[in-house]
Amino acid sequence: MKKKIAILGSTGSIGTQALEVIEEHSDLYEAYVLTANSQADLLIQQARRFQPAQVVIADESRYDYVSEALADLPIQVYAGADALCQVVQNDEVDIVLTALVGFAGLRPTVAAIKNRKQIALANKETLVVAGELVTQLAMENHAAILPVDSEHSAIFQSLMGEQSEIEKIILTASGGPFRKFSMEQLQTVTPGQALKHPNWDMGAKITIDSASMMNKGFEVIEAKWLFGVEADRIQVVVHPQSVVHSAVQFRDGAVKAQLGVPDMRVPIQLAFSYPIRLASTFDRLDWYHMADLTFEAPDLGKFRCLGLAFEALRQGGTMPCVVNAANEVVNLAFRQERCSFLQMSDIIESTMQRTTFVAQPTLDDYFAIDAEARRVADELIA
């Protein structure tokens, strides 16, 4: 029996690479659900090729266009955010890959978990916003959450076969395109410069988050919830070559790491195939011609977003949700040249101070606080 996979965000960077994995292993997997936000033409093209049972276009204004284009095929077409929550509940679906971006991932991920689906989690924002609630729900529903983020997949792989306590997680970071920039240089960097990541080709939002190192801050929060390790035992280490994808140190001082060529298809494939590893044709490390592997401390003075994420995690409650919402607002504003690179962390910090704090939030609280934080951040930009 082939495993049926629902890809939320099939038109994105992770989504398209997941389709490559499915195509490579079409004897084992099939794309059962494909979804996009607004890229209707690419969604239609993917649907014609992979023949899923269902597709969703989140942007409702594009519904007629998609449904007419697929009218000759036995594919059910839906539109809107609610439909994302519906399709993941289908009894046929085995695995839900959350490859959509931002807070929009929270509701469908929760719906999938409540229906006991295996989650291949790329959408880290879900754990940043509501890590406690989501991991608790996953435990209650016996829904496995398998990490797709390369660092977390590396940690997960380092833990395979281990029963001992984790002493420390070593979370590696490329440092992004501005690692060596001075504060003065950072004042004038453009979205164009920030969108050129040295090692990874990813969607626009996460590429900007990598340049500001908010992405690494989010990954600290993601690691805490996935592996149950407190922030003071998660060490961020800048490793510009992105070969060591992260590591775990155990109580005897031994360190296990996972290494490889930077290629997201490796963690995507493992999140589908775990506990076994499937063959792949992806590039291998070339040990005789590898660049020197170097490691250094992150500069928290320059990359303030990283410190703000640690602070949000320390405060807990809705604070990480506020940071995520404010970050989504400033990330887009920076791309649209409505705020500068360094203003991003200032606005996030002010939004943290001005938004209501809820210590023990429910799912509804997260929606209310997300909306409030977006309003606050928008006002600060204006």
Residues that bind Mg ion (CB under 5 A): 149-151
230: three-class secondary structure by DSSP: coil
Burial class (CB in 10 A: 0-12, 13-18, 19+), 285: exposed
Q: Which residue among 202, 221, 223, 268 contacts ligand NDP (CB under 6 A)?
A: 202
Q: Which residue among 193, 195, 200, 342 contacts ligand NDP (CB under 6 A)?
A: 200
Of the two residues 293 and 371, which places its CB atom closer to Mg ion in the complex? 293
Q: Which residue among 53, 88, 206, 322 contacts ligand NDP (CB under 6 A)?
A: 206
Angle at CA 24, nearest 5°, toward 20 and 30?
Answer: 80
Binding of residue 124 to ligand NDP (CB under 6 A): yes
Contacts of 276 (CB under 8 A, 6+ apart): none
Question: What does 125 bind: Mg ion, ligand NDP, none (CB cut-off 5 to 8 Å by kind)?
Answer: ligand NDP
In eight-state DSSP terms, residue 238 is: E
Binding of residue 122 to ligand NDP (CB under 6 A): yes
Place of tokens 């939320």: 8
Range list of β-strands (E), the chain:
3-8, 29-36, 54-57, 76-79, 95-98, 118-121, 145-147, 166-173, 234-238, 244-250, 255-259
Place of tokens 């970050």: 327
Do the beta carbons of residue 216 and residue 223 sit within 8 Å? no
Binding of residue 61 to ligand NDP (CB under 6 A): no
Contacts of 284 (CB under 8 A, 6+ apart): 261
Question: What does 30 bind: Mg ion, ligand NDP, none (CB cut-off 5 to 8 Å by kind)?
Answer: none
Of the two residues 16 and 235, which places its CB atom closer to ligand NDP in the complex? 16
Place of tokens 């007419």: 68
Angle at CA 17, nearest 5°, toward 222 and 3?
Answer: 85
C-alpha span between 37 and 59 (Å, rounded): 6
C-alpha span between 103 and 247 (Å, rounded): 28
Q: Least distance from C-beta 7 to ligand NDP, angstroms?
A: 8
Q: Least distance from C-beta 117 to ligand NDP, angstroms?
A: 17
Of the two residues 163 and 303, which places its CB atom closer to ligand NDP in the complex? 303
Question: How far from chain centre, in Å, is Cα 230?
Answer: 20
Binding of residue 37 to ligand NDP (CB under 6 A): yes
Q: Which residue among 2, 23, 38, 379 contacts ligand NDP (CB under 6 A)?
A: 38
Tokens of 226: 């996935």
Do the beta carbons of residue 172 and residue 144 sit within 8 Å? no
Q: Least distance from C-beta 59 to ligand NDP, angstroms?
A: 7
Q: Least distance from C-beta 57 to ligand NDP, angstroms?
A: 8
Q: Which residue among 20, 39, 263, 357 contacts ligand NDP (CB under 6 A)?
A: 39
Of the two residues 47 and 202, which places its CB atom closer to ligand NDP in the complex? 202
Tokens of 19: 């389709």
Tokens of 321: 């949700």
Q: Which residue among 123, 153, 345, 355 contacts ligand NDP (CB under 6 A)?
A: 123
Could you count the other beta carbons within 10 Å of the beta carbon of residue 141? 14
Could you count the other beta carbons within 10 Å of the beta carbon of residue 335? 17
Binding of residue 125 to ligand NDP (CB under 6 A): yes
Question: What does 128 bind: ligand NDP, Mg ion, none (CB cut-off 5 to 8 Å by kind)?
Answer: none
From the list 31-39, 162-170, 268-276, 316-324, the region that binds ligand NDP by CB under 6 A is: 31-39
Q: Which residue among 93, 107, 134, 149 contacts ligand NDP (CB under 6 A)?
A: 149
Q: Least distance from C-beta 266 to ligand NDP, angstroms?
A: 11
Letters for 239-278 (x = contact with ligand NDP by CB under 6 A, - = none) are -------------------------x--------------
Of the two residues 215 and 351, which places its CB atom closer to ligand NDP in the complex? 215
The residue count for binding ligand NDP (CB under 6 A) is 27
Place of tokens 């679906």: 93
Q: Least distance from C-beta 16 to ligand NDP, angstroms?
A: 8
**Residue number closest to ligand NDP, CB atom:** 12
Residue 357 phi, psi (nearest 5) = -110, 130
Residues within the interface to ligand NDP (CB under 6 A): 9-15, 36-39, 58, 99-101, 104, 122-125, 149, 200, 202-203, 205-206, 264
